[in-house]
């Protein structure tokens, strides 16, 4: 079993980037959002433009990041996965700097992360997207499906997510935990998924899955 987990809206309760933009960027970030939603920009282009609109020094940015909450049970779930030797990575179309700062605050700075890369230079912000892939249906800065495809395969690939950037990768997982837009999407295409509210739900379901797998292996 390999576990892949989205970050924004999945591990965090709200979208970190949207929260930062609401607090620290001028209102024109919403125009870029409209351009993305109406198809004039890709998700990747939209996000590069939005990040460049952040108008705050790094201490202010850090203070806003330090106000963000993560979902119930995530730290325990990470410990559970380590104890059972199930590799867990975060695959996010968010921003590495934001993710690492939030995780470190919860003692979780060791989790591998695939995401966009923020370059900070004298309170100017620039987003690099080394994991984008032309042709990915998500149009995101991070092509989640090709990242999963490049990892070692496992009998069970678990994906936990909530949003549009998770659509492409959810096709590659054989155990999908979904909420919000990803749950709607999976329902529409008839893909089985497990709904979750927080990580206690995820851990409970995966424990049961491993127990059932052990029983059928012995039987």
Binding site for Zn ion (CB under 5 A): 136, 143, 145, 168
Least distance from Zn ion to the Cβ atom of residue 150, Å: 11
**Angle subtended by helix axes 58-65 and 16-24, to nearest 10:** 130
Q: Does 96 bind Mg ion (CB under 5 A)?
A: no
- Using the minimum distance from each CB to Zn ion, give the nearer residue, 19 or 144: 144
Least distance from Zn ion to the Cβ atom of residue 158, Å: 18
- Using the minimum distance from each CB to Mg ion, give the nearer residue, 78 or 99: 99
End-to-end Cα distance, the chain: 20
Binds Mg ion by CB under 5 A, chosen from 162, 167, 173, 194: 162
Least distance from Mg ion to the Cβ atom of residue 8, Å: 4
Using CB under 5 A, which of the segments 8-16, 109-117, 121-129, 206-214 binds Mg ion?
A: 8-16
Least distance from Mg ion to the Cβ atom of residue 95, Å: 13
Question: What is the spatial distance between Cα 2 and Cα 159, in angstroms, rounded to a whole number?
Answer: 9
Using CB under 5 A, which of the segments 5-13, 57-65, 109-117, 142-150 binds Mg ion?
A: 5-13
- Using the minimum distance from each CB to Mg ion, give the nearer residue, 73 or 161: 161
Residue nearest to Zn ion (CB): 136
- Using the minimum distance from each CB to Zn ion, give the nearer residue, 114 or 199: 114
| Structure-block tokens of residue 108 | 């979780």
Q: Does 163 bind Mg ion (CB under 5 A)?
A: yes
- Using the minimum distance from each CB to Zn ion, give the nearer residue, 60 or 151: 151
201 binds, among Zn ion, Mg ion, none (CB under 5 to 8 A by kind): none
Binds Mg ion by CB under 5 A, chosen from 9, 49, 73, 139: 9
Q: Which residue in 161, 170, 171 sits closest to 195, CA to CA?
A: 161
DSSP conformation class of 152: P
173 binds, among Zn ion, Mg ion, none (CB under 5 to 8 A by kind): none
- Supply the Cα-derived Rg of the chain in whole angstroms: 18
List strand residue ranges (DSSP E) for 51-149, in order. 88-95, 113-121, 124-128
Q: Are strands 124-128 and 157-161 parallel, antiparallel or unpaired?
A: unpaired
Which residues contact residue 159 at a Cβ distance below 8 angstroms, ignoring those fewer than 6 apart?
A: 4, 5, 6, 148, 166, 169, 170, 172, 173, 175, 176, 177
Question: What is the spatial distance between Cα 146 and Cα 215, in angstroms, rounded to a whole number?
Answer: 33
The pair phi, psi for residue 151, each rounded to 5°, is: -85, 160
Residues that bind Mg ion (CB under 5 A): 6, 8-9, 162-163
């Amino acid at each position: 079993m390999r576990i892949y987990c989205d970050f924004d809206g999945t591990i965090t309760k709200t979208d970190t980037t949207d929260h930062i933009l609401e607090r620290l960027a001028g209102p024109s970030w919403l125009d870029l959002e409209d351009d993305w939603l109406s198809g004039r920009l890709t998700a990747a282009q939209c996000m590069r433009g939005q990040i460049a609109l952040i108008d705050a020094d790094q201490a202010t940015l850090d203070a806003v990041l330090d106000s963000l909450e993560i979902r119930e049970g995530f730290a325990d779930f990470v410990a559970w996965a380590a104890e059972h030797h199930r590799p867990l990575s975060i695959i996010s179309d968010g921003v590495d700097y934001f993710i690492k700062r939030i995780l470190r605050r919860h003692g979780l700075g060791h989790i591998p992360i695939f995401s966009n890369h923020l370059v900070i230079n004298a309170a100017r912000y620039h987003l690099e997207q080394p994991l984008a892939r032309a042709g990915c249906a998500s149009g995101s800065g991070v092509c989640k499906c090709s990242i999963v495809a490049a990892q070692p395969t496992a009998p069970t690939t678990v994906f936990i997510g909530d949003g549009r950037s998770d659509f492409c990768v959810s096709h590659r997982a054989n155990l999908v935990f979904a909420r919000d837009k990803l749950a709607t999407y999976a329902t529409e295409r008839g893909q089985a998924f497990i709904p979750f509210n927080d990580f206690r739900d995820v851990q409970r379901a995966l424990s049961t899955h491993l127990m059932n797998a052990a029983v059928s292996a012995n039987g």
